[in-house]
Amino acid sequence: MSTETPPKEFERAPNHFTDRVGSPDWPLEAGRYRLVVSRACPWASRAVIVRRLLGLESALSMAVADPIQDERSWRFTLDPDGRDPVLGIRYLGEAYYAREPEYDGGISVPAIVDVPSGKLVSNDYPEITLNLEIDWAPLHRDGAPDLYPEPLRDEIDEVNDAVFREVNNGVYMAGFATRQRSYERVAHRLFERLDALEERLTDGRYLVGDTITEADIRLWVTLVRFDAVYHGHFKCNRRKLAEYPALWAYARDLFQTPGFGDTVNFDHITRHYYQVHRNINPTGIVPIGPDLRLWLTPHGREDLGGRPFGDGTPPGPVPPGETVPPIG
């Protein structure tokens, strides 16, 4: 038996609060809950995109945290007086402790908070989007797309499982690896999966079926951050996203689709990763690239057919107060 110490790998902590809106304890009511996000966070970005595509803006208000955390984690310093105007709190952690005063775990986004009580309902990011898609259906806009169609759920779940292990979480496992062997193992798995996705998307416009689904949203939130932060900051540098013809065109296609690019704040993304992760980037210097204007270049994916919103329609304009800085 080898006595060599096994290589360490990054482990993501399980989510502690897993309740669903629409359950007896948390009935579905328009205006009762608040979605707390950071535009820097890919896990939170999933919920932002789904909320927008389904037209839940008027039913589920949204708070955007500062991309730069302090020792108490996510804070509302983007709001007047550093306090969320709806929840009346300075830190997201206050909603966690209102729910469980002795809680001593991490404070993460996305989070759904019950406005009347100020208590956290859920920080279960894989389930929050499914909750919005299924349990919140009575409050969806007219023409909302079906992002989790029942006949395709098994295939969507299978794709999501592989994408989570090797892409969504894989970039973090590479970035936070502290040993060479561990880093190389997860980095190789990441690019093997990206190679497989490149092949899958060469002849198909979307990952599952001919419309946008939950699977596309989960992959895309990592792709949109790839060249800006994961390639350099997390050492995922065997290839840039822009060096994958199909994946890069696929990512641009979705970026230019209402509900995707209009939710992205690259300034929040780059400042968060490069300034918060001082163990990886001690100087806190934020790089000037890549050229974001490339996201607006033609992608040619229309030639593959597909119906982005299926039998539904695109979402309407971004609500006032939720716009992001334009590229260009």
Q: For the chain, report the end-to-end CA distance as a whole number of angstroms.
A: 58
User: Is the Cβ–Cβ distance between 263 and 324 less than 8 Å?
Assistant: yes
Q: Which of 45, 26, 221 is nearest to 129 (CA)?
A: 45
The distance from CA 184 to its chain's CA centroid, rounded to whole angstroms, is 25
Q: What are the tokens at 226?
A: 């790839």
Annotated binding residues, written as ranges, equal: 74
Give CA–CA dist 240/262, Å, rounded: 23
Q: Which amino acid is at 144?
A: A
Task: Look at residues 68, 76, 115 and name the one whose alpha carbon lies nearest to residue 93.
Answer: 76
Q: Binding site membership for glutathione: which residues?
A: 74
Backbone angles phi, psi at 175, to 5 degrees: -65, -35
Q: Which residues touch 320 (CB under 8 Å, ≥6 apart)?
A: none
What are the catalytic residues? 41, 172
Beta-carbon contacts of residue 16 (< 8 Å; ≥ 6 apart):
103, 105, 123
